Amino acid sequence: MNFASDNGAGVAAPILDAIVGSSRVNAPAYGADDYTARAEALLSEVFERKASAFLVATGTAANALSLAALAAPWQAIFCHEEAHVIDDECGAPEFFSGGAKVVGVPGGDGKITPAALVETLARFPRGQAKTSQPGALSLSQATEAGTAYAPDEIAALADVAHAAGIGVHMDGARFANVVAATGRTPAELTWRAGVDVLSLGATKNGALACEAVVVFDPLRAAAMTYQRKRAGQTLSKGRFLGAQMEAWLAGGLWLDLARRANAAARRLAEGLAAAPGLRLAFPVEANEVFVVAPDPTLARWRAAGVRFHEWSTRSAPPERAPRPGETMVRLVASFETGEAEVQALLALAESPQRSRNSWPD
Amino acid sequence: MNFASDNGAGVAAPILDAIVGSSRVNAPAYGADDYTARAEALLSEVFERKASAFLVATGTAANALSLAALAAPWQAIFCHEEAHVIDDECGAPEFFSGGAKVVGVPGGDGKITPAALVETLARFPRGQAKTSQPGALSLSQATEAGTAYAPDEIAALADVAHAAGIGVHMDGARFANVVAATGRTPAELTWRAGVDVLSLGATKNGALACEAVVVFDPLRAAAMTYQRKRAGQTLSKGRFLGAQMEAWLAGGLWLDLARRANAAARRLAEGLAAAPGLRLAFPVEANEVFVVAPDPTLARWRAAGVRFHEWSTRSAPPERAPRPGETMVRLVASFETGEAEVQALLALAESPQRSRNSWPD
Amino acid sequence: MNFASDNGAGVAAPILDAIVGSSRVNAPAYGADDYTARAEALLSEVFERKASAFLVATGTAANALSLAALAAPWQAIFCHEEAHVIDDECGAPEFFSGGAKVVGVPGGDGKITPAALVETLARFPRGQAKTSQPGALSLSQATEAGTAYAPDEIAALADVAHAAGIGVHMDGARFANVVAATGRTPAELTWRAGVDVLSLGATKNGALACEAVVVFDPLRAAAMTYQRKRAGQTLSKGRFLGAQMEAWLAGGLWLDLARRANAAARRLAEGLAAAPGLRLAFPVEANEVFVVAPDPTLARWRAAGVRFHEWSTRSAPPERAPRPGETMVRLVASFETGEAEVQALLALAESPQRSRNSWPD
Amino acid sequence: MNFASDNGAGVAAPILDAIVGSSRVNAPAYGADDYTARAEALLSEVFERKASAFLVATGTAANALSLAALAAPWQAIFCHEEAHVIDDECGAPEFFSGGAKVVGVPGGDGKITPAALVETLARFPRGQAKTSQPGALSLSQATEAGTAYAPDEIAALADVAHAAGIGVHMDGARFANVVAATGRTPAELTWRAGVDVLSLGATKNGALACEAVVVFDPLRAAAMTYQRKRAGQTLSKGRFLGAQMEAWLAGGLWLDLARRANAAARRLAEGLAAAPGLRLAFPVEANEVFVVAPDPTLARWRAAGVRFHEWSTRSAPPERAPRPGETMVRLVASFETGEAEVQALLALAESPQRSRNSWPD
């Protein structure tokens, strides 16, 4: 039972077929191939707007390139204080941007509020030479707490950002899961709400290694071709990326895969919430379940071979945070997570509670 | 007939099988998988030495990471004046190294000579604050002229570099072709001759997207894990890279593939050299053929659908350089280049010369 | 009455004389002059240890060069969350270090505690590729709250840092004031307590534009000559810096100047603390006074031409923080601050309280 | 007799007086003082155009900031192959620009020709992702060979640059000498001829440490305030820079000083050219004399205490380059170089030749 990450999953069959197909032919190098052209056209279709897309192999590269397109070296990038871009990319945004400062904004449930953003921006006044100037806002969708920003929440934040003269980036490593979970369109969740650049992740959701930097304002994309190349992210057999993205989007596969992962997470969440002694740390709005469990329960899971990560966060309110003898853990469902796996974990969660009812300990 | 680049070729069947196999299972993320472990073990075996290996998706990333491991931001990287790292990577070495200066060293046949290196180093005196300090030597193997450095040539250059206190990098995008062509061992062509870090390229030689930074001195690799991660080159489904490298090396597949490409290039070179009006610009020592041809011949090739690149170089001696009415072109053979393709091109090269004898034009 | 900053003060007469004297002669360029040599010798004498010193023109450059000598681009620099290096240098540490992440550590009275440092370091585990690795600790002496670290406080923090494998920097923009105020020796406050690199500031304390990067471990200084040059901090008429530093240190002038500033600050603090309605926000341990005052008092000061900065900080405990109708301000005394100026401000602080009793307004 | 560099000279009396005067008063920090305001106004007056000016302490900083304002990290900066910015600043342009590539253009007499620039630009085609994109042209005025570009030469180069979409920087470390020597106006030699950003050097010509980045198009200066600050080049007692620049420009002092240096160089050149066995390597068009002399002559100079630098250059045509037994040296005159010094050197140059006629050696 592997709930450690959706990164561990395999590759969805249609995507693997596309990779194999494209690997058997000779094709122009560096992204000048037909697969990539079709993938880019599909992206514009899905987002209902002519957008510039740049395919890369990792989410870290997609985020860092996006942020480097928005923020100058002497500027600051604002994100949630526990965002992937500030904590989990070994300083990639600083590297790609040439030394921009990544500034954490606190907030519950993994989300930034407009008020918190305003308060943070106030510490970076425009025109004051000694202060890194505002450069970009980065929002994670889904958030690090597995929650989702609604379109109006995004719009409220984007309004603050744009009023401050900065662009808005969305780290969409699990964007597909939010589209699938909320039923909102890709456009509603991005440019219609004010997002300027999106890192769209396919890897965690069925692809092998494929992410897209989607730039809604073509002017912002002017230098991306060069920034991507000098970052070593322009694959020579670029059809590898094009074929994946095409297969992922075609026929709505990406949303089918996301729905599977979301559904598994939802069943897991419902079961765990109902188990005595356990409680959810955050609303489950995508494919991640954060649960606070008694340490003996977790020991039992581990003994049964369940794989998951312990989680430390300032994002949970006191009533949901772990108390002594408890630990918060993250369980991630992927498109491959099966019903049997979910039931097996739930059985492990519940059974000892039943026995606890029978035999005092 | 595609002789534009070995980048355009497909993927060798055993490597594609390995990708497919590894994509069907769940595996630990970020290179902690068994495929990667086995690939790294094979690399140490092939190089007859325990080496640190870091798999990445592009040659540009492999080169830039290698150079950043050797040279500090205030140092200079010396390479042939037409090397890939100075001309064709949009400044990636400058980016990854934090601003090191890449300095071209002139030389015939794509090669640096010890004398030219000594002369260039003299312009960068140690201890003079105003001068970028010597940082690294980068050698391309095969060179940009399709030639190969012999072990004693490498050793002579490495001796100069080490005496100047700098490390030696080898850009081995076509290293396999040189091993196959010369019969020298990987060890003889690298660390035994003084190479400290190798970019080992599999992509041009049958893989999909896979290169290895091979660091022979583990001390030099201390920070590479972090440098790779913050460069967005640590794939989450890292087994994709491991599976390719394992399959590429296993059973000597890499050398079989290189031999095929080399053989096609050799037959092409022999045929073209024998064709009236054509001459080779450089010795053919790997899988690239540089040929000087009359412009009408090239027009005929193009008309027949032959794909290739025109080539501009200072590396050819005057007697081999193009004269008015001639152009130098590069023809690259890959592991997929078939005998039919070679013969078709040769036919195009020769026939019009015969007709020229019969009918004046 | 200018209490805005010690940056506004003029230049102490002996230092100005030294500048003039050195400006009338011809001298070797780029710091190879005798003034600089004598200044460096004096620094070693003052610090009771052979140290490498690099003179530069600004405190920002001194700090950023120091941090770049300690931290690699993929590492994190830890400092107080309100330190000058994180808030007031427009990202200079990020720039000079090639993109290191500057991480704020919270703490009262402008100080980091060992416990807070340990807690912060725990978020940056060694060997975890996704996390910026620990790179350096930066302590401000005096702190941004005008307080001073005692030698044992420094030692406790340096022990934590060194145990974590990172070097310790001290931002000594007002180091002279702390030496003068505490009576501890420069050595006790730096390398004997574990400081590896010191930015020693003369500018705020009587010089015109002169700071020294003092590197106690010569190994850490190996590249500083080049780092300084490529940062544009190697003055061609370098004797300008040498002459200032020599005159500043010679005969203990630096401590005389600092004592004057400290004494003025102390008298100011005593008077303000005794004034009704005012209270000190932090202990006054150098030449800065942070005072919480009723807004009408401040309006009066402004009307009388007093110059000062409002101050926003998380470093004051609730009982000392401003309440509605109050504001915290910073008053800085320099070596030029005269008794008359102090008394004039104190009169403004006190009289209106008295007059308010007599005449309603 | 010090002909090593104009960097070694002292400070002109009016400038020293201005420094002293400004150092005796309290003034707003960070360049918000009246001296700086007046200096900026004078610069606009001298250049007959409202320009943005940024004062810094070194020429390296002025050049690097200028180039960073013109070229993005993924672009190339073109300069003469022996320019100061490529050879003598330890990689400062690479550092400040975030890794731009500095590309040398060959040319006689220290000058780039339009044809050579066109040829070099052709190697950096627009829109080709693998190639660093054209970013800036940097011209040295006077050149590294002591020659001067005429306005129409500048205009021809600027036309090529602007047609290629890149801005033009002028490294004016000895700009004053060219204005004084040619009688052309500052405007004619800069923006009227197409220069976008000028590094205007005062330090070599009578100041202590003062250079200005003069940006003729205000749009290009938008971020310079922040770039200067994070480069540690914003002096806290900024009036030091303002006072120097004001005194330097006021009443045409800068041109008086330059005329003195130029005149000394001209007399030196005439005398040396007439001495048997010596010849000038380049036309003397500012305050530098490059002379090829027999080694015994140079030995005699050294024995007499003359200080100068040997010079290695590819910029001299064969007939003027040193032959065996000869060496090229650079002699620099400053505003302080006196007639006696010039005559003493000329006496040393000539006398032994006379004796050689009498007594064979």
User: For position A181, which CATH number holds?
Assistant: 3.40.640.10
Whether residues C247 and C149 share a domain: the answer is yes
Listed residue (A124, B205, D164) closest to C87, CA to CA: A124
Please count the residues of chain B.
361
Whether residues B223 and B290 share a domain: the answer is no
Whether residues A286 and A154 share a domain: the answer is no
Residue in A closest to D100 by C-alpha: A230
pLDDT by residue for chain C (361 residues), tens digit each?
889 988 889 999 999 999 999 998 888 999 999 999 999 999 999 999 999 999 999 999 999 999 999 999 999 999 999 999 999 999 999 999 999 999 999 999 999 999 999 999 999 999 999 999 999 999 999 999 999 999 999 999 999 999 999 999 999 999 999 999 999 999 999 999 999 999 999 999 999 999 999 999 888 898 999 999 999 999 999 999 999 999 999 999 999 999 999 999 999 999 999 999 999 999 999 999 999 999 999 999 999 999 999 999 999 999 999 999 999 999 999 999 999 999 999 999 875 444 444 333 3
- Whether D33 contacts chain B with CB within 8 A: no
**What subunits touch chain D, counting only 3 or more CB pairs under 8 A?**
A, B, C
Whether residues D85 and D160 share a domain: the answer is yes
The answer to whether the CB atoms of B24 and A11 lie below 8 A apart is yes
Chain B CB contacts of A16 under 8 Å are 20, 23-24
- Whether B81 contacts chain D with CB within 8 A: no
Whether residues C223 and C263 share a domain: the answer is no
pLDDT by residue for chain A (361 residues), tens digit each?
889 989 889 999 999 999 999 998 888 999 999 999 999 999 999 999 999 999 999 999 999 999 999 999 999 999 999 999 999 999 999 999 999 999 999 999 999 999 999 999 999 999 999 999 999 999 999 999 999 999 999 999 999 999 999 999 999 999 999 999 999 999 999 999 999 999 999 999 999 999 999 999 888 898 999 999 999 999 999 999 999 999 999 999 999 999 999 999 999 999 999 999 999 999 999 999 999 999 999 999 999 999 999 999 999 999 999 999 999 999 999 999 999 999 999 999 876 544 443 333 3
The distance of A78 to chain C (nearest Cα, Å) reads 14
Average confidence score pLDDT of chain B: 95
Q: Which of residues 207-226 of C touch B (CB under 8 A)?
A: 223, 225-226
Q: Are B338 and B1 in contact (CB under 8 A)?
A: no
For chain D, the distance separating the N- and C-terminal CA atoms, rounded to the nearest angstrom, is 27
In-domain check, residue A358: no
Please state, in angstroms and rounded to a whole number, the distance separating the CA atoms of residues B21 and A10.
10
Q: Please say which residue of B231, B251, B271 terminates a domain.
A: B251
Tokens 């949630």 found at? A80
Q: Which candidate from B26, B58, B229 shows the least CB-CB separation from A10?
A: B26
> pLDDT tens for residues D174-206?
999 999 999 999 999 999 999 999 999 999 999
In-domain check, residue B2: no
The distance of A65 to chain C (nearest Cα, Å) reads 15
**Phi, psi of A294, rounded to the nearest 5 degrees:** -65, 145
> pLDDT tens for residues D61-75?
999 999 999 999 999
Please state, in angstroms and rounded to a whole number, the distance separating the CA atoms of residues D117 and D160.
8
CA atoms within 13 A on the CB side of A235: 29
The distance of D62 to chain A (nearest Cα, Å) reads 18
Residue D361 pLDDT > 80: no
Residue B231 pLDDT > 80: yes
Average confidence score pLDDT of chain D: 95
Mean pLDDT across D330-337: 96
How many H-runs (helices) and E-runs (strands) does chain D carry? 13, 11
The pLDDT assigned to C219 comes to 86
The answer to whether the CB atoms of C56 and D29 lie below 8 A apart is no
The answer to whether the CB atoms of A74 and D227 lie below 8 A apart is yes
The answer to whether the CB atoms of A73 and C91 lie below 8 A apart is yes
Please state, in angstroms and rounded to a whole number, the distance separating the CA atoms of residues D195 and D172.
11
Give B313-319 contacts, CB < 8 A, sequence gap 24+.
B313/B82, B313/B110, B313/B144, B313/B145, B313/B281, B314/B81, B314/B82, B314/B106, B315/B80, B315/B82, B315/B107, B315/B108, B315/B109, B315/B110, B315/B144, B315/B145, B315/B282, B316/B108, B316/B109, B316/B145, B316/B281, B316/B282, B316/B290, B317/B108
The pLDDT assigned to D350 comes to 74
**Inter-chain Cβ pairs, chain C and chain D, closer than 8 A:** 156
Whether residues B144 and B290 share a domain: the answer is no
The C-alpha torsion from D88 through D89 and D94 to D95, rounded to 10°, is 160
- Could you give the number of structural domains in chain D? 2
Which residues are CB-neighbours of A61 under 8 A, at least 6 positions away?
Answer: A92, A211, A231, A233, B231, B232, B233
In-domain check, residue A192: yes
Q: Please say which residue of A252, A287, A319 terminates a domain.
A: A252
Whether residues A245 and A277 share a domain: the answer is no
In-domain check, residue C3: no
Helix (H, G, I), strand (E, B) or coil at A223: coil
Residue D344 pLDDT > 90: yes
Whether residues A298 and A207 share a domain: the answer is no
**Phi, psi of D103, rounded to the nearest 5 degrees:** -115, 125
Q: In 10 A of CB C230, how many CB atoms?
A: 27
Return the bridge partners of B197, or none: B169, B215
CA-derived radius of gyration, chain D? 21
Q: Are C194 and C158 in contact (CB under 8 A)?
A: yes
The distance of D96 to chain A (nearest Cα, Å) reads 10
In-domain check, residue B235: yes
Q: Which domain holds residue D243?
A: 11-253
The answer to whether the CB atoms of A226 and D98 lie below 8 A apart is no
- The DSSP H or E segment spanning C81 is none
- Name residue D272's amino acid: L
Q: Is C103 left (phi over 0), alpha (psi -120 to 50) or beta?
A: beta
- Name residue D62's amino acid: A
> pLDDT tens for residues B1-22?
889 989 889 999 999 999 999 9
The pLDDT assigned to D1 comes to 83
Whether residues D29 and D106 share a domain: the answer is yes
Residue B360 pLDDT > 50: no
Whether residues B40 and B141 share a domain: the answer is yes
Please state, in angstroms and rounded to a whole number, the distance separating the CA atoms of residues D333 and A293.
81
Whether residues A273 and A335 share a domain: the answer is yes
Whether residues B109 and B193 share a domain: the answer is yes
Please state, in angstroms and rounded to a whole number, the distance separating the CA atoms of residues A111 and D60.
45
What ipTM was estimated for this complex?
Answer: 0.94
Return the bridge partners of A77, or none: A102, A136
Q: Please say which residue of C220, C253, C286 terminates a domain.
A: C253
The distance of A227 to chain B (nearest Cα, Å) reads 8
Which token pair is C327? 């504001």
The answer to whether the CB atoms of D235 and C209 lie below 8 A apart is yes
Return the bridge partners of C326, or none: C294
In-domain check, residue C148: yes
The pLDDT assigned to A93 comes to 98
Please state, in angstroms and rounded to a whole number, the distance separating the CA atoms of residues A16 and C13.
78
User: For position D322, which CATH number holds?
Assistant: 3.90.1150.10
The answer to whether the CB atoms of C91 and A101 lie below 8 A apart is yes
Listed residue (C285, B2, B208) closest to A16, CA to CA: B208
Per-residue pLDDT band at B25 (split at 50, 70, 90): confident
The pLDDT assigned to A1 comes to 83
Please state, in angstroms and rounded to a whole number, the distance separating the CA atoms of residues B242 and A293.
36
Please state, in angstroms and rounded to a whole number, the distance separating the CA atoms of residues D83 and C116.
50
What is the β-pairing status of strands C133-140 and C75-80? parallel
Per-residue pLDDT band at B351 (split at 50, 70, 90): low
Q: Which has the higher per-residue pLDDT, B178 or B30?
A: B178
The answer to whether the CB atoms of D26 and C2 lie below 8 A apart is yes
- Whether A336 contacts chain B with CB within 8 A: yes
Q: Which has the higher per-residue pLDDT, A123 or B27?
A: A123
In-domain check, residue A21: yes
Mean pLDDT across D101-121: 98
Query: Of all residues in chain B, what percent carry a pLDDT higher than 70?
Result: 97
Query: Of all residues in chain D, what percent carry a pLDDT higher than 70?
Result: 97
Helix (H, G, I), strand (E, B) or coil at B296: helix
Please state, in angstroms and rounded to a whole number, the distance separating the CA atoms of residues D262 and D182.
11
In-domain check, residue A2: no
Tokens 């002139």 found at? B106
Return the bridge partners of D103, or none: D78
The pLDDT assigned to A218 comes to 85
Please state, in angstroms and rounded to a whole number, the distance separating the CA atoms of residues C287 and C285.
7
> pLDDT tens for residues B116-155?
999 999 999 999 999 999 999 999 999 999 999 999 999 9
